[in-house]
Amino acid sequence: PFYVAFLMPDILAPVLILMLALIGAWLAVLSRAERAAAAGLALIAILSHPSHLLIAALMLPALLWSLPGLHGRRRWIGAGLVVLLVGAGLGERAVFAALVARFEAREVRVLPFLTARLIDDGPGQSHLAARCPDPGLATCALWQALALSDDPERFDAPQILFSRDPATASLRRLDEAGQTAVAREQLRFAVAVLRAEPLAVLAAIGRNTLVQLGYVRIDMTIPAAGGLDALRAVHGAAADGLRDGRLIDGGRGWLAPLAVVHIALYAVSGLAVLALLARRGGLPAGSRRFAVLVLFGIIANAIVCGSLSEPAFRYGARVALLGPILAVLLAFGRVRAVGRSTTGSLPAATAENPA
């Protein structure tokens, strides 16, 4: 809820998950305008942040799984729509890179998140230790930069990517060409590490995902004292118009008790959702598909953010409210379904899945 103060695209992550779940679960009963609105909101979310595109891509198999509940032409419309959304996100990246190359004569460089994550988790370190020096492996230059310090924090993924401190910097020690070479090589490096140590890589992904699922505090969304000074040091006059928010003046002591409330709320709502899903006949078919897709989206968010960047509170906080929202929606749907069955109305499952 505090993301809006930052105007960060992260606020659209839950919108993406909800819209994709809506399309996957209830496409058959949505009007054309509703389908267009859901697809439009999902597309805006996908285009707003690279992690959202990856979340949509991970949700794609689950969405295609949910579509066999549709019949005939609706199934193909649904499949085409979800594939089109992911394809549009990929296309936007390609078009943006082409335009930058055409008009700016520059290359769009994606930071080597995969490389940094694998080094942080350990398999990347052992792979580089065994391979370097190797003229054919550009990432060896990064490994050499890491060897210039003995600070253990230098292996943290954020330090690898962003630090300029001599004690922890590595990527930023390289010249522009060296940084570009490491970035270009990250996919090939990731595949090589996965082939060399598949179990270690999969274990790290699982561990990071589980840790990320438990990170729901809002601490990282609340500016800390001194944050503006750091921005001014980087951006100069462009940051002169920024001012500290009111939350800084009151200190941060209120965050700890609020975290307890949040964690309790998310735990209770999560258990409620699982209980409704586990109960046979407890939910109409469409509601069940919707719930499964939303839960899959939350897990996809944890996989993408925890395993490619790092487990962090802000990544979990941006989707954590989906738990209580989903619990309320399912409880309301359950009450309506029970009411219909007791009054002899048309069963909800039939209404949600018309022939």
159 and 307 together in one domain: no
72 and 220 together in one domain: yes
The pLDDT score that the predictor gives to residue 121 is 95
The answer to whether 46 and 81 are in contact (CB under 8 A) is no
pTM, to two decimals? 0.84
Q: Which of 188, 213, 238 is the last residue of a domain?
A: 213
Q: Which of 182, 213, 244 is the last residue of a domain?
A: 213
259 and 287 together in one domain: yes
**Which tens digit of pLDDT belongs to each residue from 136-166?**
999 999 999 999 998 999 999 999 998 888 8
pLDDT band at 337 (very low <50, low <70, confident <90, very high): low
Q: Does the pLDDT of residue 348 top 50, yes or no?
A: no
207 and 222 together in one domain: no
The pLDDT score that the predictor gives to residue 283 is 79
86 and 229 together in one domain: yes
207 and 229 together in one domain: no
Angle at which helices 73-103 and 50-66 pack, to 10 degrees?
160
Whole-angstrom CA distances from 59 to 31, 126, 272 are: 23, 32, 23
345 and 257 together in one domain: yes
- Count: domains in the chain: 2
Q: Which of 149, 181, 213 is the last residue of a domain?
A: 213
71 and 90 together in one domain: yes
- pLDDT (average), residues 71-90: 78
Q: No. of H helices and E strands in the chain? A: 18, 0
Q: Say how far residue 71 (Cα) sits from the centre of its chain.
A: 31
The pLDDT score that the predictor gives to residue 350 is 46
Q: How far apart are CA 247 and CA 260, in angstroms?
A: 19
101 and 162 together in one domain: no
**Which tens digit of pLDDT belongs to each residue from 233-288?**
777 777 777 776 666 666 777 888 888 998 999 999 999 999 888 887 777 888 88
Q: Does the pLDDT of residue 10 top 60, yes or no?
A: yes
- pLDDT (average), residues 171-184: 93
268 and 121 together in one domain: no
Q: How far apart are CA 54 and CA 24, in angstroms?
A: 17
142 and 256 together in one domain: no
CA dihedral 187, 189, 192, 196 (to 10 degrees): -130
- pLDDT (average), residues 192-211: 95
19 and 122 together in one domain: no
Structural domain that includes position 159: 113-213
